[in-house]
Amino acid sequence: MDSWIIIGLGALFVVLGVLAFFWGRREMDDYYLVISQRRDVREFVERSPLRPEPEALKIGGIIAAIVGVVLVVLGLVWL
């Protein structure tokens, strides 16, 4: 019974990680799309200043997905 809880938590982490990754990716794409349509495109060309929020979402999503996969594997091993 406990292994199903671990598998469920792992699946939740995987789903949340994937969602966070794609949310960060969309935020970065939307930001640079808006910047590229301005007359002064220096920020777009140099990617400066860097915005840490989208990258943090992507990295957090990857970490959450990895933790989720580990939990699912552990749950399956103990099943």
Query: Quick check: 12 pLDDT over 70?
Result: yes
Domain that holds residue 15: 2-78
- DSSP secondary structure string, 7-44? HHHHHHHHHHHHHHHHHHHHHHHHHHHHHHTSS--HHH
Query: What confidence tens digit (pLDDT) does each residue in 52-65 have?
Result: 777 888 999 999 99
The number of distinct structural domains making up the chain is 1
What is the pLDDT averaged over residues 39-61?
76
pTM of the model: 0.75
